[in-house]
Structure 1
Amino acid sequence: MPEMPEVEVVRRGLAPYVTGRTIDRVEVHDVRSIRRHTPGADHLGDALVGRRIRSAVRRGKFLWLLDDHLDDALMVHLGMSGQLRVSAPPATDPASVGGPGAGPTGAAPSEGPASDPVKHLRVRLELDDGTRIDFIDQRIFGGLWLSPLEETADAAPAGEGDDLPLIPSSAAHIARDLTDPQLDVERTVAAIRRSRASIKSLLLNQQVVSGIGNIYADEALWAARIHYERPGESVSAAKVRQLLAEARAVMERALEVGGTSFDALYVNVDGRSGYFARSLNAYGREGEPCPRCRAPIRRHVFQNRSSYVCTRCQRR
């Protein structure tokens, strides 16, 4: 599943194409991808056509588009394999006027295989300048829907991409992520240390801190030398702060290179894959030597997920 860096790469890539543009047409090719919009496809199309998009906003793994009326937001959740792919006329393509090496992602150039932009097309938005935004989803765990807006609990901006203190109700339960300047780090530390749950499950709990998934949890735990099964209450406050700092650092490094792609299921809006997978220290490195101590990296099954751990650095 795309984690915070991958969704932020998509948001940055999408924003130049949609900001200030009006939705002219909506095509729903598979109603399963709008199942959370219970009024159905016709209602979604009627509600979206004519909207002028104000901004693309993200909190954690949730992405949404705001329009000028500020009554509700178009939610986009990528699920396991969702993509937003952009096709713009050359004269209006922001990537064509950015100079050498420029691209629509807002991050460093990435590389990798591009997935089929047609086979798994589920929803298409056409904008007033001819740009097409395609939602492609092979496994159909993601989707689009409209969600009413409400004020943020702390009256601060809801997420990255806009300064309004308005958040879709569908995302209001999601905690702030580690790159959010409004995050109360000490409150997050206290929440982790109050819990008997395993430290990894707490990192993955989007109501504790958002945006972290399996890959970056394993990488942060490796960096902080913490075993994934340790209860949150057994980890010192200083160690939890270090863990959160490591998680933020690894996600920021991933963001710089377009995120982490192991296959064509995650790509940027221009169809390119991120290449942070080359820089992973623990995740996916079963049997390889730990970069720090040379002991073998082991793969364990934890809560139906793979967890990668150094047998020497991260003692239980």
Structure 2
Amino acid sequence: MPELPEVEVVRRGLEPRTVGRTISGLEVLDARSLRRQAGGEDRLRAAIVGRTLTAVVRRGKFLWWRLHDEDGAEAGEALAAHLGMSGQMRVTTPHGVPSAPALPDQGPAPDPLRHRRVSLHLDDGSRIDFLDQRLFGGLWTSPLVEAADGRAAGLGSPDALLPASAAHIARDLLDPAADLPAIARRIRERRAPVKSLLLAQEVVSGIGNIYADEALWRARTRYDTPGEALSQRRALSVLRAAGEVMERALAAGGTSFDALYVDVEGNSGWFARELAAYGREREPCPRCGTAIRRVPFMNRSSHFCPRCQRRR
């Protein structure tokens, strides 16, 4: 958490507020958020201050900004970010952007001042704050390389260039360049449980525990079914279900259970109230009425309907 829909909500929030702006300063409050930056804070400052943000791109759960120098030339490296388990990107204008008050069914209102780790100051007086309670996320620069298939690197990308640090990440299900039949075949080549394959970022990126459970419920497929036991048709059904549920989550602003995920203005997402399986242990299945079960799986939990998602 956050997963693909939440990161895409953040990307869409950052795009109109940051593209075309120049980074005028870097403020580091906790160097642990720069652990992936070669050369540390000094190298990051030298690489980004004075550079213009020309695009904000996402592949899976990875975000990055394309950078140009003052002459308009491509910088040759991107400013990359990963939100980890609890990262947030919050945008503050010169007049401030207070958190929106929470509605009763929208989750708690987060505190925008807690856990600020890094801030990027922009030339219009605005500021991008990176907040991270659990410190699994971070920012760093990475040289640009060409995507293996030569197609646009991700949503928001003007071309096939992406950070080398994200080159191993597979395309996600909201990417127009994603080849669903090929992803289904990769899943069917593995003996691993289908849920673990949905979570494997080198197979298909961006899916986490929440949306894997929801996709498998929609596709009537049990979480521990081996990938090799799926037909091509069923594997495609699982992938399409995952894409559909993430599109619905994106339209609802993502899924917020607490203050760990909010958009760039501090708003929580609404999709938690539409979840059919995840977090619904002992509640009736929306489809058949059987109680949803929760079982341990890969140091996480899997939620499923024992009737709709029977062992095959």
Which TM class, normalised by the smaller chain length?
over 0.9
Three-state SS of the structure 2 residue aligned to 1:71 is strand
Runs (4+) off by over 3 Å: none
Distance in 1 (alpha carbons) for counterparts of 2:216 and 2:23: 43
Does 1:243 find its partner at 2:238? Answer: yes
Q: Which residue does the alignment assign to 1:39? A: 39
Q: 5 Å matches for 1:1-316?
A: 1-68=1-68, 69-89=74-94, 111-316=106-311
Structure 1 residues without counterparts, runs of 5 or longer: 94-102, 104-109
Deviation of 1:181 after TM superposition, in Å, equals 1.1
Deviation of 1:90 after TM superposition, in Å, equals 5.6
Q: Is the 8 A contact 1:112 1:272 kept in 2?
A: no
Distance in 2 (alpha carbons) for counterparts of 1:177 and 1:189: 13
Distance in 1 (alpha carbons) for counterparts of 2:113 and 2:119: 11
Deviation of 1:40 after TM superposition, in Å, equals 1.1
Residue identity matched to 1:65: W
Instruction: Tell me the TM-score normalised to structure 1 length.
Output: 0.93
Structure 2 residues without counterparts, runs of 5 or longer: 69-73
Residue identity matched to 2:12: R
Distance in 2 (alpha carbons) for counterparts of 1:282 and 1:41: 43
Deviation of 1:70 after TM superposition, in Å, equals 3.8
Deviation of 1:111 after TM superposition, in Å, equals 4.0
Q: Which residue does the alignment assign to 2:71? A: none
Q: Is the 8 A contact 1:289 1:297 kept in 2?
A: yes
Residue identity matched to 1:117: P
Distance in 2 (alpha carbons) for counterparts of 1:19 and 1:88: 15
Instruction: Tell me the TM-score normalised to structure 2 length.
Output: 0.94
What are the Cα deviations for residues 82-128 of structure 1, in whole angstroms up to 9, with x where unaligned? 0000001369x9xxxxxxxxx9xxxxxx9432322222010000000
Three-state SS of the structure 2 residue aligned to 1:264 is coil
Q: Is the 8 A contact 1:113 1:272 kept in 2?
A: no
Distance in 2 (alpha carbons) for counterparts of 1:292 and 1:112: 26
Distance in 2 (alpha carbons) for counterparts of 1:266 and 1:283: 17
Distance in 1 (alpha carbons) for counterparts of 2:149 and 2:65: 21
Residue identity matched to 2:136: F
Distance in 1 (alpha carbons) for counterparts of 2:300 and 2:106: 27
Distance in 2 (alpha carbons) for counterparts of 1:203 and 1:44: 34
Residue identity matched to 2:10: V
Q: Is the 8 A contact 1:220 1:243 kept in 2?
A: yes
Q: Is the 8 A contact 1:27 1:45 kept in 2?
A: no
Residue identity matched to 2:292: I
Distance in 2 (alpha carbons) for counterparts of 1:308 and 1:186: 26
Distance in 1 (alpha carbons) for counterparts of 2:16 and 2:281: 40
Three-state SS of the structure 1 residue aligned to 2:27 is strand
Deviation of 1:194 after TM superposition, in Å, equals 0.7
Three-state SS of the structure 1 residue aligned to 2:114 is coil
Distance in 2 (alpha carbons) for counterparts of 1:163 and 1:45: 25
Three-state SS of the structure 2 residue aligned to 1:290 is coil
Q: Is the 8 A contact 2:107 2:257 kept in 1?
A: no
Distance in 1 (alpha carbons) for counterparts of 2:228 and 2:117: 44
Distance in 2 (alpha carbons) for counterparts of 1:226 and 1:151: 36
What are the Cα deviations for residues 53-82 of structure 1, in whole angstroms up to 9, with x where unaligned? 001000000000111224111111000000
